[in-house]
Structure formats: structure tokens, C-alpha cells
A and B are shown apart, each in its own frame.
Chain A
Amino acid sequence: AQKITQTQPGMFVQEKEAVTLDCTYDTSDQSYGLFWYKQPSSGEMIFLIYQGSYDEQNATEGRYSLNFQKARKSANLVISASQLGDSAMYFCAMREGRSQGNLIFGKGTKLSVKP
């Protein structure tokens, strides 16, 4: 079974609008971390935002926020006020508490921002 599922291979959003990228995860651990990364066409993986399993509040970093619904095992990324530079692949990843450094990635969502 997949540990990280991103069901949207591709998404389009109009510039200045908000967009939600979906991520669901599967783990039996109580302690885990969820990460979102952005990968432009240049290839570099850019860390965006982190949510811990014990965090009571949703994480926010500038225009990025994470809609964390623990009971549903979902950790959706919300990008507000989309910009043309947001066009990229977006990856959701999880690290289970018992594994040192082992980040499990989803297949990614390609976001295209239209002017």
C-alpha cells in the first residue's frame, strides 16, 4: 500500500487565486512528520512547510499553509495568491518517527499557474 498518495497528477490555477494540493498518508506510528517540497524545472527540491503529528495548529509559512486533518490522514497544501513562479512539481513527504531520515515521497502534483 502506498504510504503517501497524491491523487492530482496536474492542476491549473489562475494567477492570484488560491489552490489546494491534496495529500493523504498511511502510517501506524503516533509520531510522524509531514513535509511539502516544491521542485521547479531546474530540479532542486525546495522545502516549503512542515507539520508534526502532535501539532495542534495547522502550519503556515507565508503564502503556504497546511490543512492537517489527522483523523482523515490528510495534509493538503494550500497556496494563496498564486504567482507565475509557483508553477512547479509539488511533493508531499512523510517521515515516520521510528525511521531515521527516511522520507517517503508521493508521486507529486504538477501545478501550472495561468496568467
Chain B
Amino acid sequence: ETGVTQTPRHLVMGMTNKKSLKCEQHLGHNAMYWYKQSAKKPLELMFVYSLEERVENNSVPSRFSPECPNSSHLFLHLHTLQPEDSALYLCASSQGSASPGADTQYFGPGTRLTVL
């Protein structure tokens, strides 16, 4: 495997279900990110992890719970979601450098989530 992988690629869940999204990066990066992409809205940053510590949480509802057990893996645990949470969830990783030029983010293919 190379780059950033995400599983599952598609997920349909009911509002009472609990599911998890998985992201794995094979780039040796130190920072990982979760983004939400809804129809007709710009990409929204949800969570940032640097060296396995959460450094940013952009006022995301508690029904989304991230977990970063090591620098290569990132999870997004989902519970009691709403239909408006249906979106494409993208994971990304980067070196984690303070310099913008050395911190290009590389994205996975995304998980397309539908909440019924």
C-alpha cells in the first residue's frame, strides 16, 4: 500500500448505529487530519493530530470522536449521526512542519457516508 488509504469507501448507516472510519498513511508523516466535504460547501477541517496529539478541533459535534493510536493510523468513530452528516469524509497526512511549504497535505480517497 502506498500513500493514504481509507476504509470503508462507502458506508450507509442508520441514526442509531455506531461505526468507525479508518485512515492509514504510509508516508512516514507526523500529522493527520479529518475533513468533511458536503455538497456545495468548501472542505471543512474537523480534527488535526500532530504526533498523536490532537492540536485542533473545529467545534465538531461530540457524535464524531477521533482517535489516533499512532502516527500512521487515524480513526473517526461515529454514533447517533444525523442525516445532515451525510458527506464525503477525507483523511489527509503531512510532515507536520511549521513551514507551509514543507507541509503539503496528501489525501486519501475518502469515505462516502450516507446517514438514513
Contacts and interface: CB of A to CB of B under 8 A. Distances in A.
B: contact size bracket: 20 to 34
Contacts of B55: 100-101
B23 interface: no
Interface string A78-99: 0000000000000101011100
Contacts of B48: 100-102
A16 to B, nearest CB: 29
A50 B92 contact: no
Main secondary structure of the interface of A (DSSP, over half): strand
Interface stretch (A17-25, A40-48, A64-72): A40-48
A33 B103 contact: yes
A64 B57 CA distance: 33
B61 interface: no
Interface in B52-72: 55-56
B42 A45 contact: no
Contacts of B56: 100-102
Interface stretch (B14-22, B73-81, B104-112): B104-112
Nearest to B9: A43
Contact of B112 (A33, A43, A93): A43
B67 to A, nearest CB: 18
30 contacts: A4-B42, A31-B100, A35-B104, A37-B107, A42-B109, A43-B88, A43-B112, A45-B90, A45-B92, A46-B107, A47-B104, A47-B106, A52-B100, A53-B100, A91-B43, A95-B100, A96-B100, A97-B98, A97-B99, A100-B48, A100-B98, A101-B50, A101-B55, A101-B56, A101-B105, A102-B56, A105-B42, A106-B42, A107-B42, A108-B42
Q: Nearest 7 pairs between A and B by C-beta?
A: A33-B100, A45-B107, A105-B43, A43-B110, A44-B109, A95-B100, A52-B101
